[in-house]
């Protein structure tokens, strides 16, 4: 396990290097001079020259990259062109709502998708199973933002039970925090619920007729216990691998959900910065999200190797 | 049988949508751009099936025409991402020396949630249709190269490949004549899913205001525009959304069906399960 852990930890380095090259190049993809774009058409040549100097745009590209990388490694993501605040500060100030939203969504996903999968597998010989397959396909075909609009219409306007915008920090009380996040977290979770439930069902069906389940049934173990102790427990292992992809989906989805529900998270920060052409913030947020995703995948892989020893010797 | 029927229905619906939007100019009774200040935000009726928008334009006509951009973006992204992803997958699966470098680059791209990468790229490049196609292609090709690579790895040591190698067949010939045809099925399945995901992503980008120019009718743009009228004209939001769902769903069903059709494992599984299902009754 130690050997595998070290190998897996080291593999993060090349990935993060490629990630930082991509993020660095983002600014240099902009057609024309970034300083000119940031300052707008009315900027004086002096101001442009000064910003070019400040951003280091006069140096060769690879020197700019290594200078930038050195800063990033020390935790300095630059300063916002719009608010003059350090980007790291902005990210941490906005991370709370995003984190709350994601944790609550993950909770929804687990609470809803596990019982669904177990129910579908225990009723696999009925019409419910093919029906579920189609419904889960429908789930991945619905645009999140459209679903959000419809739910806002239903539960915010027609039957006003939930607030349709805003965010309350946890410090203002658990009830207020939860109340404001329920609807957005549910929308965010909905697409992923279909994916996870489908994944669980598929791997449970794979082990329903395995020899060890047959043996359990032959011993006279009740079908319910066979499903829970043998089938479900084994299906959980492959399902952990898609958890990384789930987090990616949630991270992408928060951008849309935060914008729609005006939640002041890093997704909203990203969209605002795109409209303001605030490139240091765009770079910082994108790099931060990619780093989280790489970290989550690392944890998932280590967890998987821990749960399934065969992986370690692959 | 049931899923076969389902796949045919999905294919028919998708082709009908494509045909309808391509030939729209000949059969649409109203122009999608004709404005009428007296007909703003009308509810669906016999004359305006899906109602009218904030400029008094016919929403049905606009939903039909909007499919052009959405489908075109989807299909072009699917084709380019498939070609690039397949090339990288073939090379890295076959020439093992290139594998490490190529896969680390692909992993780097995979480290971003696809929508986020596309968003950042469009923010940098600017929101034209060409740039959206470029951004979405970059966001979706990595998965394809992973899929192709692992398919190549599975057959790399097959006897017929070994035989071709020992008889001195050139690598290019081996790749194109022996390997590519054998990894075609996962490529086709994956490209169908990319098509579906690209349509959703384009709509999301337009909805976030960084996509296709707002004056061009796309499903995402219509939803973005309709958002402020949600309480007084819900149909303005509902119909473009339904159009997205139907189109993407039919593509996803097709992809799912193709996967089952190509996958010998799932066939075997079905055959194995069937007698079990009838056993208790007998």
Cβ of A152 and B116 within 8 Å? no
DSSP state of B42: P
Q: How far apart are the first and last CA of chain A?
A: 12
The reported pLDDT for the residue numbered A48 is 80
* Average pLDDT across chain A, whole number: 86
DSSP state of B56: S
What is the count of residue pairs from A and B with beta carbons less than 8 Å apart? 145
CB B119 within 8 A of CB B206: no
pLDDT tens profile A179-208:
889 999 999 998 888 888 888 888 888 888
Q: What residue ranges do the domains of chain B occupy?
A: 49-265
CB B92 within 8 A of CB B102: yes
pLDDT of A85 > 80? The answer is: yes
Reported ipTM: the value is 0.85
DSSP state of B229: G
CB A196 within 8 A of CB A109: yes
The reported pLDDT for the residue numbered A62 is 86
Cβ of A259 and B115 within 8 Å? no
Q: Which of residues 232-291 of A touch B (CB under 8 A)?
A: 248-249, 251-253, 255-256, 259, 270-271, 274-275, 282, 286, 289-290
Which residue do the tokens 């010797």 mark? Answer: A313
d(CA B240, CA B207): 12
Cα-to-chain-centroid distance, residue B35: 32
Domains of chain A: residue spans and CATH? 94-307 (1.10.3720.10)
B113 touches chain A (CB under 8 A): yes
Cβ of A141 and B231 within 8 Å? no
d(CA B197, CA B192): 9
Architecture of domain B49-265: Orthogonal Bundle (1.10)
The reported pLDDT for the residue numbered A38 is 67
CB A19 within 8 A of CB A294: yes
Q: Give the DSSP H or E segment for A88.
A: helix A87-122
CB atoms within 10 A of CB B177: 12
CB A255 within 8 A of CB A267: yes
Judging contacts by C-beta atoms under 8 Å, the chain B residues touching residue A14 are 104, 107-108
The reported pLDDT for the residue numbered A231 is 85
CB A125 within 8 A of CB B277: yes
Cβ of A19 and B126 within 8 Å? no
Look up residue B36 and give its two tokens. 């009428």
DSSP state of A172: G
pLDDT of A272 > 70? The answer is: yes
Find residue A86's DSSP bridge partners. A79
Q: What value, to the nearest 5°, has the Cα angle with vertex A289 and ends A288 and A291?
A: 65
B189 touches chain A (CB under 8 A): no
Find residue B58's DSSP bridge partners. B52
Residue A161 burial (C-beta neighbours within 10 Å; 0-12, 13-18, 19+): exposed
Q: Which of A59-63, A76-80, B198-202 has the least mean pLDDT? A: A59-63
Region A116-125: mean pLDDT is 87
pLDDT tens profile A133-149:
888 888 889 998 899 88
pLDDT of A99 > 50? The answer is: yes
**Nearest residue in chain B measured CA to CA from A13:** B104
Handedness of CA A136, A138, A143, A147 (dihedral sign): negative
**CA dihedral defined by B38, B42, B45, B50, rounded to 10 degrees?**
120
A165 touches chain B (CB under 8 A): no
Cβ of A21 and B248 within 8 Å? no
pTM over 0.80: yes
Q: Which residue numbers in chain B have pLDDT < 70?
A: 1-2, 264-282
Instruction: Count CA within 13 A, CB hemisphere, residue B94.
Output: 21
Region A12-25: mean pLDDT is 92
Confidence label for A26 from pLDDT (cuts 50, 70 and 90):
confident
**Nearest residue in chain A measured CA to CA from B201:** A143
The reported pLDDT for the residue numbered A217 is 87
pLDDT of A42 > 50? The answer is: yes
Cβ of A143 and B245 within 8 Å? yes
């Amino acid at each position: 396990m130690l050997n595998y852990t070290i190998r897996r930890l080291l593999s993060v380095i090349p990935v993060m290097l490629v990630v930082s090259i991509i993020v660095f190049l983002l600014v240099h993809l902009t057609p024309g001079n970034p300083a000119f774009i940031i300052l707008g058409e009315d900027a004086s040549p002096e101001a442009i020259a000064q910003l070019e100097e400040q951003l280091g745009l006069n140096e060769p590209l690879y020197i700019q990259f290594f200078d930038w990388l050195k800063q990033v490694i020390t935790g300095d993501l630059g300063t916002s062109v719009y608010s003059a605040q350090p980007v790291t500060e902005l990210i941490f100030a906005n991370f709370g709502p995003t984190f709350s939203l994601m944790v609550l969504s993950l909770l929804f996903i687990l609470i809803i998708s596990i019982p669904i999968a177990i129910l579908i597998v225990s009723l696999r010989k009925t019409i419910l199973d093919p029906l579920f397959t189609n419904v889960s396909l429908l789930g991945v075909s619905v645009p999140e933002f459209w679903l959000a609009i419809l739910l806002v219409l239903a539960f915010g306007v027609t039957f006003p039970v939930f607030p349709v915008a805003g965010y309350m920090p946890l410090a203002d009380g658990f009830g207020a925090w939860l109340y404001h996040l329920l609807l957005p977290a549910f929308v965010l979770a909905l697409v992923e619920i279909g994916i996870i439930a489908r994944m669980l069902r598929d791997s449970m069906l794979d082990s329903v007729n395995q020899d060890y389940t047959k043996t359990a049934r032959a011993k006279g173990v009740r079908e319910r216990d066979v499903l829970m102790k043998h089938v479900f427990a084994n299906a959980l292992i492959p399902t952990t691998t898609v958890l990384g992809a789930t987090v990616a989906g949630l991270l992408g989805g928060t951008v849309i959900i935060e914008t729609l529900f005006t939640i002041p998270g890093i997704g909203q920060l990203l969209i605002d910065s795109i409209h303001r052409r605030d490139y240091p913030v765009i770079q910082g947020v994108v790099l931060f999200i990619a780093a989280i995703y790489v970290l989550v995948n690392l944890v998932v892989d280590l967890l998987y190797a821990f749960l399934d020893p065969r992986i370690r010797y692959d | 049988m049931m899923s076969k029927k389902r796949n045919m229905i999905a294919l028919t619906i998708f082709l009908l949508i494509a045909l309808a939007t391509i030939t729209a100019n000949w059969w649409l009774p109203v122009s999608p751009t004709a404005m009428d200040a007296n007909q703003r935000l009308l509810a669906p009726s016999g004359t305006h099936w899906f109602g009218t928008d904030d400029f008094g334009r016919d929403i049905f006509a606009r939903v039909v025409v909007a499919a052009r951009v959405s489908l075109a973006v989807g299909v072009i992204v699917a084709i380019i991402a498939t070609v690039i992803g397949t090339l990288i997958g073939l090379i890295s699966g076959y020439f093992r020396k290139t594998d490490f470098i190529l896969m680390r680059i692909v992993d780097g791209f995979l480290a971003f949630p696809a929508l986020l990468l596309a968003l950042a790229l469009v923010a940098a490049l600017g929101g034209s249709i060409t740039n959206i196609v470029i951004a979405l292609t970059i966001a979706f090709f990595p998965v394809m190269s992973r899929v192709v690579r692992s398919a190549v790895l599975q057959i790399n040591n097959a006897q017929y490949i070994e035989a071709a190698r020992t008889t001195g067949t050139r690598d290019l010939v081996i790749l194109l004549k022996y390997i590519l045809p054998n990894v075609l099925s996962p490529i086709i399945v994956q490209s169908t899913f990319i098509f579906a995901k690209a349509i959703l992503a384009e709509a999301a980008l337009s909805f976030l205001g960084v996509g296709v120019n707002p004056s061009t009718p796309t499903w995402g743009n219509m939803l973005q525009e309709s958002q402020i009228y949600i309480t007084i004209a819900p149909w303005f939001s509902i119909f473009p959304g339904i159009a997205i769902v139907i189109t993407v769903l039919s593509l996803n069903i097709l992809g799912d069906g193709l996967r089952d059709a190509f996958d010998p494992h799932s066939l075997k599984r079905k055959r194995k399960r069937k007698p079990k299902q009838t056993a208790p009754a007998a």
